[in-house]
Structure 1
Amino acid sequence: MPPTTAPHLPRPITLIINGKSRRGQSEFDTAVRFLRQAGVPLGATELSRDKAHTERVLRREVAEGAQTVIVGGGDGTLSACAGFLVHTSVAMGVLPLGTGNTLARSLGIPLDLEGAAQTIAIGHAEPMDVGCVNGRVFLNSVTLGLSADIAHALDSETKKRLGLLAWPVIGARVLWKHRTMVVQVTSPNKKFYTRTHQLVVSNGRYIAGPIAAAPDASVQDSCLRVFVLGGSKFQSLARTAVKWLLGQHTTAREAHYFATRTVRVETIRRRVPADVDGEINEHTPLDLKVLPGALRVIVPRNFEADEV
């Protein structure tokens, strides 16, 4: 018996998958099959060759008044695509095909393709907050310091081969060469300087895959979370990392953990690269703000942002 078409998806929907993501090319046909089996009325199915190809497809969908676009890829791909869909009526369906799949975790979307396809078929559209850094949209986090140095050292082949294990493997190499940074953080209610190895600005609860960096956050609370990981010494970084694993890092003395709608991050003496949703594409100084409810996404029926 042919699948019943998902009632909330009456029009043919375009699917675009990043062919360079960890599983994009190898699982393209599987993704198409699972979506059709779930009853999703697929129209065009595109295996993206490059960013220009993706941009053409998304601009076309917005111009033609599409209801939904399904995007398959890692967090960097989803973030880049969201930049074309914010403040439009187009909802984004998510197929998690990357390494960390942080956005899928924040939205409660299954990490397996079949489950994600079912979510698109029977779920519903919800508004979510997005972050904006120097005019660029991000969905999960912006980080400075050690994690950005690791992301810079990671190549796509290593991520494809090792998956989440790529981070500790490359991290061990980067750690001993890593330099601390002096940051100035300014928000409407706070201003401080500190020397540290790591600073994180998070939109939701998770960063870098399964790490619940901001346990009190959600993608619907209209706030960003800012925190520093450790002081200037490696002992402080290690101590904070342990507290992070125990879920106690937000109360650590060195954390400077707080919620805000806007924040400016500057570094003293040198510009520092920033990891934006897994991609190194910004440098300090950074002006960040939250855009409440700016993106529509397909989420599971039982989605509750503050319970994911």
Structure 2
Amino acid sequence: MSRSACLIFNPVAGQGNPDQDLAKILAILEPEIDLDIRKTTEDVDADQLAAEAVERGAEMIIASGGDGTLSAAAAALVGTKIPFGVISRGTANAFATALDIPNTIEAACQTILGGFTRTVDAAYCNGKPMVLLVGIGFEAEAVERANREAKNRFGMLAYVLAGLQQLRDLSKFDAEIETEDKVIRVSAASVTVANAAPPTSILAQGPAGLIVDDGLLDLTVVAPQNVAGAIAASYHLLQSALNEHPAERPDIGYLRARKIKITTDPPQKVVLDGELVGSTPVEVECIPAGLTILVPETAVEVPVEHLDGLPDVEVIPKKGEVEEKG
């Protein structure tokens, strides 16, 4: 047995039987990998266990749980170059889907055993490590509605139901978005900055087919005029994601940048990798090749920017260029 790894296991993730899940993982991995098994508790989260494993000099770290567990463990590995294996057992499994990792235990374990090592981008949001995305406005409100009780009862449908409920309270806010070369002022219902995102994270799908190793963040602004427009925009974004074609609606804008700062009036709730973390303002910076992960190969090219159609958008180029209004 030539390989060793720390296995971080969340026993309360998902809706399956944790004892059976762990036994299945061990049956597949232990013949080839010497596993140091650490379980999360109410007091000890995956990020602490992963950080401790890094300090012990772990050769590889494997995490098994929901998106919160996987993102927390990955966050501790940013910049370490320690290979990260993913076994999803959560409600949404957004982390695995975004990185094209199989979301069944058997296939995920085989990816760890036989997959190759790939470096993908990570990011920091207000100093906190970020693997997937930060959502401002509508998405954060919907995530807050989809509590643990709802997820245990309805599974993935809990997010859909929360989104439908949030549509009844749809509201817009003024946002100022600053990148390296411009400042954008716009009224929006949702602003999302993604490092990686699955197709089901529709509010991040302005450019569609997000690239996880390009050294850039993908920003999507959704600015519907009413509830009907929000529904139409959401459906369009879902189609954009599934077809990998960028959004083409006047109330959807997107761009790519390495650093993005967002302020809002009034302040808006913020969700980071599926967890509520406070409110705006936020500053997000991409960390190119910040995470080493075991994942099947994939690469998709997407357009860089589309902002012209957003209603009442004001784009102010930096470096003294002429102001534009769309």
| Shorter-chain TM-score range | 0.7 to 0.9
| 2:138/2:190 contact within 8 Å kept | yes
Residue 103 of structure 2 is aligned to residue 107 of structure 1: no
| 1:19/1:47 contact within 8 Å kept | yes
Residue 80 of structure 2 is aligned to residue 83 of structure 1: no
Residue 11 of structure 2 is aligned to residue 14 of structure 1: no
| 2:66/2:89 contact within 8 Å kept | yes
Residue 276 of structure 2 is aligned to residue 280 of structure 1: yes
Q: Distance in 2 between matches of 1:224 and 1:51?
A: 33
Structure 1, 278-287 or 170-179: larger mean CA deviation: 170-179
Residues 200-219 of structure 1 aligned to structure 2 (within 5 Å): 200-206=192-198, 208=200, 213=205, 214-219=207-212
CA change 1:210–1:122 in 2 (3 A) is farther
- What's the offset of the Cα at 1:105? 1.3
| 2:53/2:61 contact within 8 Å kept | yes
Residue among 58, 67, 90 paired with 2:59: 67
Q: Distance in 1 between matches of 2:93 and 2:45?
A: 22
Residue 232 of structure 2 is aligned to residue 235 of structure 1: no
| 1:230/1:238 contact within 8 Å kept | no
Deviations 1:15-62 (Å, cap 9, x if unpaired)? 1112332247x2344234334325442422222113535344323311
Q: Distance in 2 between matches of 1:212 and 1:195?
A: 17
Q: Distance in 2 between matches of 1:212 and 1:285?
A: 18
TM-score by length of 2: 0.83
Q: Distance in 1 between matches of 2:291 and 2:77?
A: 7
Residue 300 of structure 2 is aligned to residue 306 of structure 1: yes
In structure 2, stretches of 5+ residues that fail to align are 302-326
Indicate the residue corresponding to 2:247 in structure 1.
Answer: 250
- What's the offset of the Cα at 1:225? 0.7
Q: Distance in 1 between matches of 2:203 and 2:102?
A: 16
Identity of aligned residues (%): 25
TM-score by length of 1: 0.87
- What's the offset of the Cα at 1:229? 1.5
In structure 1, stretches of 5+ residues that fail to align are none
- What's the offset of the Cα at 1:94? 0.3
Q: Distance in 2 between matches of 1:229 and 1:163?
A: 26
Q: Distance in 2 between matches of 1:81 and 1:37?
A: 21
| 1:36/1:42 contact within 8 Å kept | no
Residue among 143, 159, 162 paired with 1:167: 159
| 2:193/2:204 contact within 8 Å kept | no
Q: How many residues align?
A: 295
> CA RMSD, aligned part only?
2.3
Indicate the residue corresponding to 1:27 in structure 2.
Answer: 18
Q: Distance in 1 between matches of 2:283 and 2:203?
A: 24
Residue 286 of structure 2 is aligned to residue 290 of structure 1: yes
Question: Partner of 1:250: helix, strand, or coil?
Answer: coil
Q: Distance in 2 between matches of 1:207 and 1:279?
A: 19
Deviations 1:128-157 (Å, cap 9, x if unpaired)? 101211011111111111121011112112
Q: Give the residue type in structure 1 aligned to 2:60.
A: T
Following TM superposition, the consecutive aligned residue runs of length 4 or more in structure 1 with deviations greater than 6 angstroms are: none
Q: Distance in 1 between matches of 2:292 and 2:197?
A: 18
Q: Give the residue type in structure 1 aligned to 2:218.
A: R
